[in-house]
Structure 1
Amino acid sequence: MTTESVWMPPSALALLIEELAVLASQPSPDAATEERIRELRKTLSQAEASIKPDDGLVEPGMRITAMLSGDTRATVFLLGERELVSLDPAVEVDVYSPSSPMGKAIIGSYVGDTVSYTTPNNSTVQVEILAAVPYTGGR
């Protein structure tokens, strides 16, 4: 059985490790604390905090510039799990989830590709990938 990795900024990984250490050091944790410890251990076992290669591949951990059908300006965002990325206060760019309809559609595509996905209200949106660069912090 393979475990899917979960990308997060290195600073978020450090915060989760620190939180786990604090919680695990409690002599008699309550049920909620024990559940949080389990969640943290699972997340950390899947954690990937490396800088992605600059190869144009769209994957979590990349800063994406895309043109959505009907828009006149490109959209720039980080592809990653919002709750994990939000742990890093230096992230100053919108975050789109890899599990969202658009995230699922664009993962695995490359710069120059155009993909489409269906929104929850059943409309089809085309997305042209203009850039995909490793996220290294900030904007």
Structure 2
Amino acid sequence: MAAIPLTARGAKRLEEELHRLKTIERPNVIEAISEARAQGDLSENAEYDAARERQGFIEGRIQELEGTLANAHIIDPATLEVDDRIVFGATVTIEDLGSSETVTYQIVGDLEADIRQNLISVSSPVARALIGKSEGDVVMVNVPAGEKEFEIIEIEYN
């Protein structure tokens, strides 16, 4: 399996989820299965079926997280020699030259991306256009609404 790029914060979030699944969710679902079994006939026991389904989901997610973390390549942009250029993990403030709106994004791995938290995937069109650029550069990005022009206002490596 290829290395999976993650920021330190993204890896910590996945480790916390794995810990919660193993120490809280797994024991809870085992208890629910045990209680459902105690009710007798399992062939028509909806609680048992639901608990078993939940257990399957939890075990699958645990395996997925363990695999991801085992293959993670944690990248800290603060330790990279970047020559003031945008790299994986950088936090970038850009201005839409058409609307004058500014937005700040952090460029993260595919598994960490969450647009609601302004975390964009390194493989997204915006991130691909920004990688390697510097403050003051103007980039063109193909977005669903057409082409947009952005100016890079600020780059942070934290």
Cα distance, 1:39–1:2 mapped onto 2, change above 3 Å? closer
Matched, 1:52 2:75: no
With normalisation by structure 1, the TM-score equals 0.65
Shift of 1:8: 4.5
Q: Deviations over 1:20-69 (max 9, x none)?
A: 6538x86x894322311221023212252635347322233221111222
With normalisation by structure 2, the TM-score equals 0.59
Distance 1:96 1:36 in 2: 22
1:8–1:85 Cα contact (<8 Å) kept = no
Number of equivalent positions:
127
Matched, 1:114 2:138: yes
Cα distance, 1:40–1:47 mapped onto 2, change above 3 Å? farther
Paired-residue identity, %: 21
Matching of residues 24-43 of structure 1 within 5 Å: 30-43=55-68
Q: Bigger CA drift: 63-72 or 76-85?
A: 76-85
2:128 aligned counterpart, secondary structure:
helix
Distance 1:12 1:85 in 2: 12
2:78 aligned counterpart, secondary structure:
coil
Where does structure 2 lack aligned partners over 5 or more consecutive residues?
31-51
Matching of residues 70-89 of structure 1 within 5 Å: 70-80=98-108, 84=112
Where does structure 1 lack aligned partners over 5 or more consecutive residues?
87-92
Distance 2:119 2:101 in 1: 17
Matched, 1:22 2:23: yes
CA RMSD of superposed structures (Å) = 3.4
Give the corresponding residue for 1:12.
13
Cα distance, 1:80–1:112 mapped onto 2, change above 3 Å? same
Matched, 1:125 2:148: yes
Give the corresponding residue for 1:89.
none
Which aligned segments of 4 or more residues in structure 1 are displaced greater than 6 angstroms? none
Q: Which amino acid aligns with 1:125?
A: K
Q: Which structure has the higher relative contact order (CA within 8 Å, separation 6+)?
A: 1
Return the index of the structure with the highest Cα Rg: 2
Q: Bigger CA drift: 103-112 or 50-59?
A: 50-59
